[in-house]
């Protein structure tokens, strides 16, 4: 039977990515993304924000850690993964996240400094 586990999100980072390394030396980065939905009902605009936990591995983790910051607008594509852990009372808890395989920064780049005109390739006499 065919199956598909694919998630596509556009949202803003809730905090700077948090990096760590596994015992085998692989880098993993975790952060959350806010995905908002707005609608108008009876002339009043309502907004709901869904917070999604994100995880990136290896080279993509390095890129996320280096370039992404809180508030950045990003496109993410990945798969759902649910982890299980035991809480302090000994009960099983489940935690769903998106393990990303693709990331694209959507914010416009900030212009820094003054743009200088390049010298002409030819001289006018």
Domain boundaries defined on the chain:
7-105
This prediction has a pTM of 0.78
User: In sequence order, what are the residues at sequence separation of 6 or more whose Cβ sits closer than 8 angstroms to the Cβ of residue 100?
Assistant: 54, 55, 56, 60, 76, 77, 78
pLDDT of 122 above 90? no
- Two structure tokens written together for 29: 């980065």
Q: What is the mean pLDDT of residues 23-48?
A: 93
Tell me the backbone φ, ψ of residue 85, rounded to 5 degrees: -145, 165
- Banded model confidence at residue 109, pLDDT cuts 50, 70, 90: low
**pLDDT exceeding 70 applies to what percent of the chain?**
86
In CATH, what number does 7-105 get?
2.40.50.140
User: In sequence order, what are the residues at sequence separation of 6 or more whose Cβ sits closer than 8 angstroms to the Cβ of residue 98?
Assistant: 7, 9, 52, 53, 54, 55, 76, 78, 79, 80, 81
In angstroms, what is the C-alpha Rg of the chain?
21
Per-residue pLDDT of 38-89, as tens digits, reads: 988 888 999 999 999 999 999 999 999 999 999 999 999 999 999 999 999 9
Pick from 78, 58, 60, 110: nearest CA to 11: 78
Task: Using alpha carbons only, give the angle 97, 9, 24 rounded to the nearest 5 degrees.
Answer: 40
pLDDT of 11 above 70? yes
């Amino acid at each position: 039977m065919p199956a598909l586990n694919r998630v596509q999100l556009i949202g803003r980072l809730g905090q700077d990515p948090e990096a760590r390394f596994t015992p085998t030396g692989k880098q993993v980065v975790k952060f959350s993304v806010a995905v908002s939905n707005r609608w108008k009902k009876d002339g009043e605009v309502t907004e709901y924000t869904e917070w999604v936990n994100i995880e990136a591995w290896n080279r993509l983790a390095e890129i996320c850690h280096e370039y992404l910051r809180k508030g950045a607008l990003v496109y993410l594509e990945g798969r759902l993964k649910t982890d299980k852990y035991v809480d302090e009372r000994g009960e099983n808890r489940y935690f769903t996240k998106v393990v990303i395989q693709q990331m694209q920064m959507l914010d416009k780049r900030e212009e820094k400094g003054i743009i200088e005109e390049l010298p002409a390739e030819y001289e006018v006499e």
